[in-house]
Amino acid sequence: MILIADSGSTKTSWAHINRDKTVKYFSTSGYNPYYYSGLEFQVVLRTELIPLIPEANQVKQLFYYGSGCSSQTNCQRVEDLLQPLFPAAQIQVHHDLYGAALALFHRREGIACILGTGSNSCVWDGYRIVENVPSLGYLLADEGSGTTIGKNILTGLLKGEADPEITRVFYDRYELSFEKALDLIYKQPDPNRFMAQLTKFAADFIHNSWCRDVVRKSIDDFMTLNIKLYRNHQHLPLAFTGSIAHHFNEVLVEICNDHGFIIDRVLQNPISGLVEFHQSEMKKG
């Protein structure tokens, strides 16, 4: 049996490939070793994951692709947390960007992009990441991400940039006041998750010119400040995965056209592409 995980900061998608090659999908809370403790991850695994896998001790291979797993230290930390729960498994931990590239292109080359709660991109040669304009996280530079779009939506509303009707609807929907909004950002835990949730508001009102402009600018910044920095960007296929790429697909296509890019593929979640890849590898074996 094979277990595959695609883990972001807010949600982890899992796929369990059984002996008969059937696949079960489920999800748990997300994990990022830069933001959350190992204890928090263990609680998630024991309370949300293990009850869904009654034969955890029979999992033979576990492929974990996770946000924050960009260093050997963090990869080892995640492996050490997983191993006691899956004692018979050979565990491989990779960065979520590696997983996204594998899901989008398999063994083809291209530029793989994540536009989800966070954003990232890389040039993939079919086997490894050969170029990466680093993502700096939502506090510094995370263009095109759900957190950045949500932050810009909230900033514009608090500063009075949006039209009065959209502003009223926003405060009513989230039962917020100016003061309560600031409290959620500066005094409560996980402000990035709160800001990422605000992309749902942007999606619901994408035909409002102000909301659309906020989304367009963030995705356009992603193209300009990330994709165009790759040396061979004009000659490589471009593919996307993540909730932002999926839900704002129309805006994404417009901006890619503006920059002269042709989109090869868009996956809402890398897990489907990862299952495709690992099933094809199983057939080879």
Mean pLDDT value across residues 7-18: 88
Work out whether strand 61-66 and strand 23-29 pair parallel, antiparallel, or are unpaired. Answer: unpaired
Contacts of residue 279, Cβ cutoff 8 Å, sequence gap at least 6: 17, 21
Q: Where are the domains of the chain?
A: 2-100+271-284, 146-215
Judged against a pLDDT cut of 70, whether residue 75 lies above it is answered with yes
pLDDT of amino acid 138: 61
Given CA atoms 28, 33, 36, 38 in this order, what sign does their dihedral have?
Answer: positive
End-to-end CA distance of the chain: 14
pLDDT of amino acid 181: 81
CATH code of the domain occupying 146-215: 1.10.720.160
Q: Cβ-count burial of 10 within 10 angstroms (0-12 exposed, 13-18 middle, 19+ buried)?
A: buried
Judged against a pLDDT cut of 70, whether residue 140 lies above it is answered with no
What is the spatial distance between Cα 244 and Cα 268, in angstroms, rounded to a whole number?
8
pLDDT of amino acid 195: 82
- What DSSP designation does 86 have? S
Q: What pTM did the predictor assign?
A: 0.87
What is the spatial distance between Cα 73 and Cα 56, in angstroms, rounded to a whole number?
25
Under 8 Å between Cβ of 90 and 62: yes
What is the spatial distance between Cα 246 and Cα 58, in angstroms, rounded to a whole number?
35
Partners of 265 in beta bridges: 239
C-alpha distances in Å from residue 10, one per residue of 7, 136, 148, 249: 8, 17, 14, 21
| pLDDT tens, position by position, 146-173 | 989 999 999 999 899 998 999 999 989 9
Class in CATH terms, 2-100+271-284: alpha beta
Confidence of residue 57 (pLDDT cuts 50, 70, 90): confident
Mean pLDDT value across residues 13-38: 87
pLDDT of amino acid 137: 65
pLDDT of amino acid 196: 83
